[in-house]
Amino acid sequence: MKSAVPLFLLSLLILIPHAQGALDFLVLDSAKPGATLIVFATEGDSSAAALRQLQLGKPERGRLVLARSRPDFQAADKRTGWESAADLAALESRFQDANQLVLSEDVEAHSFDKHFLGDTVSGSPETASHILTALRGLKSNVVGKDWQALAVDGQSRRTVVNTNARLDMEGGLRPSVREREYRIAVAAMQLHLKMTDEGGDKLQLFPAARAGMIRVAVYDGPGAQNGIGRGPAWLRARLARDPGMHPELVGPNEILNGVLDQADVLVIGGGKATPQSEGLGKEGRERVVKFVKNGGGFVGICAGAYLASNSSGKWNHLELLPVETKGTDLGCKTPLVWSESPAGTARVESADLNGGPIFNLMEPVSNSVQVWARFQRNEASNMKSNEAGKEKSKETVDYALEGTPAVISGLHGKGKVALTSTHCERPPSPSNIFPDMVRWTASGGGE
């Protein structure tokens, strides 16, 4: 049974505005009569990402005002037209009749009540009910997801959507899920205020194509995980440092709803290839293959490289390049011998290998695959093996890596594919390699 105390404490916490200082804000004016809605993103990464996505479209009626604390909202996240306000009170004074929707991320509620997921909507009963209905109808693989209402003064114009921000990848509590929840909450609020005639997730995650910008979809769904904190959100943050790239997280829902039509490159990073395949499902896999075949780029890292290889008959892979894979249980730094490639000149440098595949280029079409780097030496792993109920023992397994491909590329239809067995996106690999792989795949050049 859930305790009422944590809910009471949380209701006090989330109704306090988080912005105590200067704000940046953007007014999206439809130029048609209607309500004004201020959407304020708190300090969380997912709320900031949702705000960045929301600035891509205007409401059908009225005005949508997006606001963010200035110290936390980088210039790279903003388009032209942003203004400044001294604080949230100044913004409220300017838009006196506005409704407010606060996007908040909870990381503390579970410390009060381990059974509480932290997913609440606080506001007047009428307004909260519209948002709750939309959020409860959201298809999600999060076990135990249970949106709850926290009632406040019925005259309040402020509604707070508070979603769980704990990093539990296996439980489905992913940044892409939280961002989608925020988008749906804002759409539901606009529908309630008659600012739009359509609720749901409109999936405008990327701006229109323009010269000099690469729109990168980073897969954030089942199977995408990282034990050292460099998961999908880290990949997005890494690419966002490049002024020529606009990365966003996408899950299976976004892919099934056509988000790849807005992207130039899809990145699938480390984790587990089988859950990645199952998470995408048959239709999702078909959409990815079609995206690449029609000219989209694909970068697969470790598990993403397994996923892009040929099916072994046991798993459903994407078969983007004619390459078979064998698994390893390696976790080590190993030297790679690089050839001259889009990732740089010929050289030898170390890379992080963590369970990555051993590539076997298939005949007779192996000429369609280019090898950018090869392993310089063999490696050994101490694996734990035992019979059920017996003490574990270590067994040394030798892997014949020397001379085998570590980083490969090739064409699939009109699209380009780059796969790496090692984690070239992180140290000790140089910081340029990952964005260079993305840039190469974005250039097209197939059939």
- CATH number, domain at 255? 3.40.50.880
pLDDT digits (tens, 9 = 90+) for 218-261: 999 989 987 666 889 999 999 999 999 999 999 999 999 999 99
91: CATH: 3.40.630
CA angle 375, 446, 312 (to 5 degrees): 50
Residues 218, 187: one domain?
no
Residues 140, 249: one domain?
no
Question: What are the two backbone dihedrals, phi and then psi, of residue 144, each rounded to the nearest 5 degrees?
Answer: 80, 10
Which is more confidently placed, 4 or 417?
Answer: 417
Q: Pinpoint the alpha helices (H) of 57-155.
A: 88-94, 109-112, 125-136
What is the rounded CA–CA span in Å between residue 401 and residue 379?
7
Residues 169, 298: one domain?
no
Residues 45, 84: one domain?
yes
CA proximity to 270, closest of 432, 422, 168 = 422
Average pLDDT along the chain: 84
Q: For residue 4, is pLDDT > 90?
A: no
Of 8-17, 35-44, 53-62, 314-323, least confident by mean pLDDT is 8-17
Tell me the residue range of the domain where 326 lies.
214-442
Omega cis (within 30) before 435 = no
Q: Residue 440 CB: number of other CB atoms within 10 A?
A: 20
What is the rounded CA–CA span in Å between residue 106 and residue 177?
14
Residue 199 located in a structural domain: no
* Contact call for residues 217 and 260 (beta carbons, < 8 A): yes
Residues 40, 102: one domain?
yes
What is the rounded CA–CA span in Å between residue 280 and residue 217?
14
Last residue of a domain, one of 161, 192, 223: 192
Residues 48, 89: one domain?
yes
Token pair for 281 = 């499902």
Residues 183, 221: one domain?
no
Q: For residue 171, is pLDDT > 60?
A: no
What is the rounded CA–CA span in Å between residue 430 and residue 336?
12
What is the rounded CA–CA span in Å between residue 165 and residue 103?
12
CA angle 382, 383, 389 (to 5 degrees): 135
Q: What is the mean pLDDT of residues 423-432?
A: 93
Residues 223, 323: one domain?
yes
pTM of the model: 0.87
Residues 164, 256: one domain?
no
Residue 309 located in a structural domain: yes
Longest dimension (CA), the chain: 73
What confidence tier does 302 reach under pLDDT thresholds 50, 70, 90? very high
CA proximity to 156, closest of 10, 11, 8 = 11
What is the rounded CA–CA span in Å between residue 405 and residue 360?
8
Residues 299, 188: one domain?
no
pLDDT score of 373: 97
CA separation, residue 53 to residues 294, 324, 358, 393, 445 (Å): 25, 38, 38, 51, 29
pLDDT digits (tens, 9 = 90+) for 29-61: 999 999 999 999 886 778 889 998 999 889 999
Q: For residue 265, is pLDDT > 90?
A: yes
CA proximity to 215, closest of 174, 184, 250, 166 = 250
Residue 209 located in a structural domain: no
Q: What is the distance of C-alpha 227 from the center of its chain?
A: 16
Residues 171, 225: one domain?
no
What is the rounded CA–CA span in Å between residue 59 and residue 32?
9
pLDDT digits (tens, 9 = 90+) for 56-96: 889 999 999 999 886 544 444 556 788 889 888 899 999 98
CA proximity to 134, closest of 90, 70, 182 = 182
Residues 134, 241: one domain?
no
Domain count for the chain: 2
Token pair for 257 = 């709803």
Terminal Cα distance for the chain, rounded: 60
